[in-house]
Structure 1
Amino acid sequence: MSPRVRRLTTTLSALVASGVLVLSAFTGSAGAAGTQAEKAAAGSITSITLTKNNADVKRIADYWSPAKLKRAQNNNPATPEVKPSGSGKASSAPVSPTPTGTASGGTAVKTATYSSRKSSSPVVSPVPPAKKQPTKNNLPRTVGKVFFKIGDKEYWCSASAVASKNHHLVATAGHCAFDPKRNQHADYWIFIPGYDQGRTPYGIYVGHSLNLHENFTAQGDYDYDYAFVTVHDGFVWKPGKTSNTYQMESVGSLEDNVGGQGLMVNRGVGLSVFAFGYPAAPNIDGSRPYDGQRMLWCDGRTYQTKAPTRLVEMGISLGCTFTGGASGGPWLIYYDPEQGVGYLNGVNSFAWDTDTDKKYDRISSPYFIQSTYVVYEYADRQRAF
C-alpha cells in the first residue's frame, strides 16, 4: 500500500498547524492593491512585491488587528490534501497545488546524487540575538508563525528569520507564499517570531517581497518548495488614546531583535538536524495531537526521501510526527541551543504516513542546492522602503 502524503497547509478559517513541526502555506489574492510581480535572474526567480508605500504597510497591519489575530489563533485547523500525480493516494479532495511533473531545468539537479561540495558551496553565518537573555526552553527566537491570505481565505504557516545584509529576511516554504495551482501569490503576509499562545514578544513584521524559484511558481515543482521573504521593520500594537483602539509602535529590524539563522546548501544527508514549527492539524484518522499554540521540535538524522510520487524527487526526510501548520519551519544543522542559532538546511514541506496507520510519522524538505542560495541572495538585495 502506498504511503499517504499530505501537504502541511493551514486555513485560518480553520487554522492548521502541522505536527511537532508544522508546515502551513497560504497565498494572497492576485491583483491585490500594491502588488507587482517581476521575474529576475534569467527567469530562475519569481519576485513579488506586496507593499509599495507606507499606506500598503498600514493596510496589512490594520487587517491583522489584535482582535483578528486572537480569533485566528483560536480557529480549528484544517489541512487540505495535495493530490499526488504518481502512485500516492490523497485521502480527501485537494484544494492546494497539484504538481504535474518535473520542471524543465531541474532535471540535472534531481538526477544527481546528494553531494556535499563543502569547498565550493556558499555559507551564510548565523547571527545570534543581540540581547543575551536566555531563550525559552532553548528554543530559537527566530522561529515563528506567518499569517496571510490567498483569495478570500486566511492561512498560517511556520517560518524563521535568516541572517542577511538587509537584516529583514524570512525563510519559509514556497507554498506559504505562492499557490502554483491557482497561480496566486500570498497577500496580507506577516511574520511573528517567537509566537507563543497569541503573544508577539518580538513584534509583527509585514512582508515586502516574496522571492521564490520559478520552477515552483511556474511548474508546481516541490523540489523547490522554499521562499525567502523580505519584511519591513517590526511593530507592536499599543493601546490607543480611546478604548478598544490600538496604534503601531516600531520595534526596529527583524535581525536586530531575534538574530538570524545561517544557511548551508549541498550538505548531503545523514546530518543531525533540529526541525521547528507550530503543528496543529489532525492526522489522517482525525486525531489531533497538537494545537499550534506553541513552538515544537523534532530532531534526528536526515535521509534521502524515497517518494512514491513525482511530488518530490530530490528531497530529504526526518522521522517526525508533525502535522499541518509546521510548513515552512526551519531545519537547522549545527544547532547551538544556548544561542538559538544554527544553519538553515531545509524547511518543512510535506508530512507522510509511511506505515499507513493514518498517523504522520515522517516529514520532508526540499534538498537545498546552489539555486536555493541564488534565491536567498536575490532576496537579500531587496530593500524595503
Structure 2
Amino acid sequence: MTPSLPLLAVAALVTGLLGAPGREVSPVGDVVEHVAGHASGTYWTPQRMARAVPIGLLGGLQKITTAGPGAPSVLPSVARAALPPAAEAVLAPAQAARRSTATTGTTRTTGATRTRQAAAMPPATTSGTRWGAGGSVTRTTGRVFLTLNGVDFSCSASAVHGANRDLVVTAGHCVKDGAGDWAENWTFVPGYDEGRQPYGAFPARRMFVAGPWSRSGNDDYDVGMVAVDDRDGRHLTDLVGGQPIAFDPPRSRRTYGFGFPADPPYDGERLLYCAGVPHGDPQGQTRDQGLRCNLTAGASGGPWLSGFDPVSGRGTLTSVSSFKYSNDHRTMYGPYFGSAVRDLYRTAERA
C-alpha cells in the first residue's frame, strides 16, 4: 500500500442502468465488490460514535499515512498543528456577520446592511470554515462510522444520485484498507450535526472500490462507493436528496470540499468546508488535485463539489478528500474522477 493519508473535475452526468430485480450486478471495468456484513442495530451508540478514531494522520516518509491495521493509536502532534490562518475562518457565517457589524459600526444604515449581507455569504475561498448557510449539502453530507481490525473509525461521505437511490461516495480507504481488510459495521449518518441524526443511520449492504485501490492502495483510485440499506422502505436519496456526479471534468475549477474533521482543533461534530481553485500534484506522484485546506483527520471521503451554488447547497461531485503530504499539511488532495471512477459508479449504482 502506498504510504498515503488516506485523510483525509464538468463532464456529462452519467446515469447507469438499473439491473433487473434479483439479478446479480456484473462489474463494469476493474471493480472489486464486497457484500457487507450488517452491523447490529445497537452497535453504533452515541458513546461509541464519540470514541471513534478519525482515519489518518500518522507520520509517513513522504505522505501522511492512514491509521490502518497495526498502526499506533496515538496521532502525531505535528499533524494536528495545522490551524486555520485566521480566527475568522472557524466562525459560522452568522458569527462572522456579528463581528463584522461590530467592527465596522452601524452609523450609516445602508453601509451596515451591506456589511451584514456580504458577511452572510459563505467565503468563496477558505481553508477551513464552519458551513452555516444550510442547503442541500447539509443533508447529503454526513459522517461514516466503520470498524477496521477491531478499531472503530470515522470518515465523511456524500449521498449521490444513482439508479438504486441508495448510493454513498467516500474515500476508498474509508471502505477498504488498500490491499488489506474491508470495513465492518459501516454506517452512513447523513445530516449529522452535533450528535443529532435527523435522517437516521444507513448501514452498508454492498461496497465497491476500484481494482488498483484494492490491490495496492494506489492513491489515484482512492474512491469507495457503498450501496446502503433503505430505511423503513424509503431510499436514502428519497429522504435527503443526492448530489450529481461527473467524470473527466475540467481541472482547476473552483471547488468546495466538505467534511467532518475530528482531529484537533476540530471535534467531528460540525460540517466544515474549504473552497478554492485546486492545482496539480507538485510532487508528481499522483494525478490528484490539491486544494488549500486545513481540515484534519475525519474529513476523509468528504465531497468535493464543482459548480457549487452556496444558496441551494448543490454542486457536482468531482472528487473526495484523500490525503496530505507530510511536508505540506495545508493542502488536501483528491483523486481525479476519470474512467475508472465512472466504471465504479456504473457498477455501484445498480447494486
Structure 2: how far apart are the matches of 1:209 and 1:48?
6
SS of alignment partner, residue 321 of structure 1:
coil
Say yes or no: does 1:40 pair with 2:27: yes
Q: Which residue of 2 aligns with 1:81?
A: 58
Which runs of 5 or more structure 2 residues have no equivalent in the other structure?
9-24, 72-130
Structure 1: how far apart are the matches of 2:66 and 2:144?
25
SS of alignment partner, residue 209 of structure 1:
strand
Alignment equivalent of 1:261, drawn from 214, 227, 243: 243
Q: Which residue of 2 aligns with 1:339?
A: 312
Displacement, 1:6?
A: 6.2
Displacement, 1:41?
A: 3.5
Are the aligned partners of 1:351 and 1:362 in contact in 2 as well (CA < 8 Å)?
Answer: yes
Say yes or no: does 1:227 pair with 2:196: no
Alignment equivalent of 1:7, drawn from 5, 9, 14: 5
Structure 2: how far apart are the matches of 1:225 and 1:189?
17
Q: Which residue of 1 aligns with 2:294?
A: 321
Displacement, 1:276?
A: 0.1
Q: Deviations over 1:13-70 (max 9, x none)?
A: xxxxxxxxxx3xxxxxxxxxxxxxx98345x10010115xxxx4xx432322xxx233
Which amino acid letter does the alignment assign opposite residue 62 of structure 1? T
Q: Deviations over 1:87-121 (max 9, x none)?
A: x265x9964699xxxxxxxxxxxxxxxxxxxxxxx
Structure 1: how far apart are the matches of 2:266 and 2:203?
27
Which amino acid letter does the alignment assign opposite residue 134 of structure 2? N
Alignment equivalent of 2:282, drawn from 287, 306, 325: 306
SS of alignment partner, residue 63 of structure 1:
coil
Q: Which residue of 2 aligns with 1:215?
A: 212
Q: Which residue of 1 aligns with 2:41?
A: 61
* Gap change, CA 1:89 and 1:269, over 3 Å in 2: closer
Say yes or no: does 1:205 pair with 2:202: yes
SS of alignment partner, residue 245 of structure 2:
strand
* Gap change, CA 1:94 and 1:78, over 3 Å in 2: closer
Structure 1: how far apart are the matches of 2:66 and 2:176?
20
Q: Which residue of 1 aligns with 2:181?
A: 184
Q: How does 1:368-379 map to 2 (within 5 A)?
A: 368-379=337-348
SS of alignment partner, residue 364 of structure 1:
strand
Displacement, 1:74?
A: 5.1
Q: Which residue of 2 aligns with 1:17?
A: none
SS of alignment partner, residue 263 of structure 1:
coil
- Report the TM-score, using the length of structure 1 for normalisation: 0.65
* Gap change, CA 1:220 and 1:341, over 3 Å in 2: same
Q: Which residue of 1 aligns with 2:49?
A: 72
Displacement, 1:147?
A: 0.5
* Gap change, CA 1:77 and 1:146, over 3 Å in 2: closer
Q: Deviations over 1:342-377 (max 9, x none)?
A: 10000000134545xxxx211000111022111001
Which amino acid letter does the alignment assign opposite residue 243 of structure 2? Q
Are the aligned partners of 2:5 and 2:66 in contact in 1 as well (CA < 8 Å)?
Answer: no
Higher strand share: 1
Structure 2: how far apart are the matches of 1:375 and 1:330?
16
Q: Deviations over 1:253-288 (max 9, x none)?
A: 11011111111111232201100001122xxxxxx2
Pairs aligned (count): 273
The CA RMSD measured in Å over matched residues stands at: 2.8
Are the aligned partners of 1:6 and 1:82 in contact in 2 as well (CA < 8 Å)?
Answer: no
Structure 2: how far apart are the matches of 1:93 and 1:216?
14
Alignment equivalent of 2:134, drawn from 128, 133, 138: 138
- Report the TM-score, using the length of structure 2 for normalisation: 0.71
Structure 1: how far apart are the matches of 2:189 and 2:299?
14
Alignment equivalent of 2:164, drawn from 154, 163, 166: 166
SS of alignment partner, residue 255 of structure 2:
strand
Structure 2: how far apart are the matches of 1:289 and 1:8?
19
Structure 1: how far apart are the matches of 2:221 and 2:336?
8
Which amino acid letter does the alignment assign opposite residue 40 of structure 1? P
* Gap change, CA 1:97 and 1:314, over 3 Å in 2: farther
Structure 1: how far apart are the matches of 2:237 and 2:67?
37
Q: Which residue of 2 aligns with 1:122?
A: none
Structure 2: how far apart are the matches of 1:94 and 1:193?
24
Moved over 6 A (4+): none
Q: Which residue of 1 aligns with 2:155?
A: 157
Which amino acid letter does the alignment assign opposite residue 212 of structure 1? V
Which amino acid letter does the alignment assign opposite residue 283 of structure 2? A
Alignment equivalent of 2:173, drawn from 172, 175, 179: 175
Displacement, 1:174?
A: 0.1
Are the aligned partners of 1:354 and 1:362 in contact in 2 as well (CA < 8 Å)?
Answer: no
Displacement, 1:322?
A: 1.0
Displacement, 1:252?
A: 1.8
Q: Using the aligned pairs only, state the percent identity.
A: 33
Displacement, 1:180?
A: 2.1
Structure 2: how far apart are the matches of 1:202 and 1:93?
29
Displacement, 1:231?
A: 0.5
Structure 1: how far apart are the matches of 2:322 and 2:26?
24
Q: Which residue of 2 aligns with 1:113?
A: none
